Amino acid sequence: MKGLPLAGATVLITGAGSGLGRELAVQASARGARVIAWDRDAAGARATAQRVNGTWAEVDVTDAQAVADAASGLRVDVLINNAGVVTGKYLLDASEEQIRRTFEVNTLAGYWTTRAVLPGMLARNHGVIVTIASAAGLVGVAKQTDYSASKWGAIGFTESLRAELRSFGSRVRTLVVAPYYINTGMFDGVRTKFPLVLPILEPVKVAGRVLNAIEAGRQQVMLPPLVRILPPLRLLPVPAFDLILDLFGINHTMDHFVGRR
């Protein structure tokens, strides 16, 4: 599938005030893109925009009307739905507010941002909708009942959107990214049992892979490569599948989670 060159393209990034969002902005700008940085943290969004000579807006992506207002009049070539939150608590320890917030940011926000920019993309028959999901959207993880489910929802959203665009015969395309833990602060304290095959990822490398995928016309990125074995592993009986996850220590990765402070 034909890729979209970032040079001269307008790239809108949510959650751009820090972490992976900021790194995506920096690298997209270095490739010649015009960057629009959105974040509910105005200072963070402003700092990112200043660093890349882009524009910014304070936007709560869980507010559909605020998203529509902020997107009004924008011509967006690439939307990167990057904003995300994590509670890192067992189901019975997480509050109703925390659970709702996880789905509002990680899943529903992608609906509002995409609905805001997709009509223009369809009219131009040009554009890419990128969803930064997670490997946790491919497998349930202890202390992530809300996070994993929200990322499963984000992956399902992207897959269904891809099907809709294909049925329209549109050249607008989607890209879903499912990375393992990224060293951005959001997952501070997580540990990995086998760092050689399941390393904690660095945002510089993840951002580069995402932007490469946009330009190459790819529709899916899983990081690191071992994550690709998850879908076929589901052909195994449930006890065998769970045993493999336990051997890799997946359900203990969150034991020492503290998150961003």
Q: Which residues are the active-site residues? A: 147
- Other CB atoms within 10 A of residue 200 CB: 15
What is d(CA 59, CA 182) in angstroms, rounded to the nearest whole number?
Answer: 24
Decide: 134 and 82 in contact? Cβ < 8 Å: no
- Report d(CA 2, CA 57) in Å as an integer: 31
Contacts by 69-76, CB closer than 8 A, 24 or more apart? 70/38, 70/116, 71/12, 71/113, 71/116, 71/117, 74/10, 74/12, 74/36, 74/117, 74/120, 75/10, 75/120, 76/10, 76/11, 76/12, 76/36, 76/117, 76/120, 76/121, 76/127
